[in-house]
Amino acid sequence: MTEIDYYELLECERTADAATIKSSYRKLAMKYHPDKNAGCKDSEARFKAVSEAYDCLKDPQKRAAYDRFGHAAFRNGGGGHQAQDFGGFSDIFESVFGEFMGGQRGGGRQQTRRGADLRYDMEITLEEAFHGKETEITVDISAPCDTCHGTGSKPGTHAHTCQHCHGHGKVRAQQGFFVVERACPLCHGSGQVITDPCGDCRGEGRVEKTKTLAVSIPPGVDEGTRVRLTGEGEAGARGAPAGDLYIFLHVKRHAIFERDGTTLFARAPISFTTAALGGVMAIPGLDGKRHEVKIPAGIQSGKQLKQRGAGMPVLQGRGHGDLVIQIEVETPTKLTTRQRVLLEEFRETETGEECPQSQGFFSRLKSVIAGE
């Protein structure tokens, strides 16, 4: 399952504080609010998505659960293919905060910890970022043991309640007026003891494997976009839920186009005759189409021409950004004899009105020198 996470939707780092998340949400909510984008389905969908993300991350308890379990924290059945199901947010809340609040789930038995999240860096081209990509990656991770199905016990046997901590996974010791609680040294906090461990995983319930995973890259992703593969991280010990695999995308530098959000930029050199007389320029876009850009007569270097809808697609939405062509007027460096003669004739007919900026500059310069 491929999901863009809440932090990505709010354009925040996972370490962002509450104030930063709130500020980013307000900016995005104003940008995509339906009242400011009447009739735009893309803006409406994006507004709902960022609102959902903020509703989760503004609540410390929900955010902690999301950071640990991802989107599975708010779906019945947890992560789908994970080794353990969760009944809902209340169960996850207990799992995350139970040890701090004094409550313990499952009759006081310590919960097995979820597997670690993993990171995978993937490089893609700008064309792949434009169209999206279906691909496969190969990763070396710890996965549930097939022999014992992740229990850690030899097939046909099972773990027993730890007699040292009575299944709590914790032991307490009195130190003066204080009671210190720590993980049970016999069961290492699991609350259970495996007396006949699986020979393949040696009681861990997981083994190192090489896995090939299908990855769906949606159109419109940008540098640093994170794609989450739920439950494809490190397997939890002894049947605990697996972590998630985060794929961080890196977009290769393109030979022609530069990108800023959904806007594509390109610099296009044109001859000075085209700049003077005007014309039409055909630009091949990333969408595979040829976009004809009309060049008005008398255009100057640095002028930008916009081709609407020829930019990058909107991530998780509809529509595209714009293609912006920046004109660079090129002065010829090699002239034939005939061309030189024609230019000399043109110069002889110049009155100064042809280039008003040059005429204005020299007029101002004379005024400055004359002290006017």
To which CATH superfamily is domain 258-333 assigned?
Urease metallochaperone UreE, N-terminal domain (2.60.260.20)
- pLDDT tens, 280-289? 999 999 988 8
For residue 125, is pLDDT > 70?
yes
Binding site residues, as ranges?
145, 148, 162, 165, 184, 187, 198, 201
Where would I find the beta strands (DSSP E) of the chain?
2-4, 118-124, 133-144, 160-161, 170-175, 178-183, 192-193, 206-217, 226-229, 245-251, 258-260, 263-271, 279-284, 290-295, 304-307, 323-330
Please give the model's pTM, rounded to 2 decimal places. Answer: 0.59
pLDDT, mean of residues 332-350: 92
Residue boundaries of the structural domains of the chain? 2-139+209-250, 258-333
Is a pLDDT exceeding 70 seen at residue 88? no
* Matching fold, domains 2-139+209-250 and 258-333: yes
Beta carbons of 112 and 245 less than 8 angstroms apart: no
What is the structure's pLDDT at 79?
39
The whole-number pLDDT of residue 358 equals 67
Class of domain 2-139+209-250: mainly beta
User: Can you give the pLDDT at residue 101?
Assistant: 38
- For residue range 132-156, list pLDDT tens digits in order: 999 999 999 888 888 888 888 889 8
Predicted local confidence at residue 95, as pLDDT: 42
Long-range contact pairs involving 65-69 (C-beta distance under 8 Å, separation at least 24): 65/89, 65/92, 65/93, 65/96, 66/6, 67/14, 68/92, 68/95, 68/96, 68/114, 69/114, 69/241
Binding-site positions for Zn(2+) read 145, 148, 162, 165, 184, 187, 198, 201
What value does the mean pLDDT of the chain take? 82
Residues 6+ apart with CB under 8 A from 329: 269, 270, 271, 272, 275, 299, 300, 301
With bands split at pLDDT 50, 70 and 90, how would you rate the model's confidence at 176?
low
For residue 190, pLDDT over 90 is answered with: no
Bridging pattern class, strands 245-251 and 304-307: unpaired
Q: What is the pLDDT of residues 231-265, one digit of tens each?
A: 999 888 777 888 999 999 999 999 999 999 999 99
Q: What is the pLDDT of residue 255?
A: 93
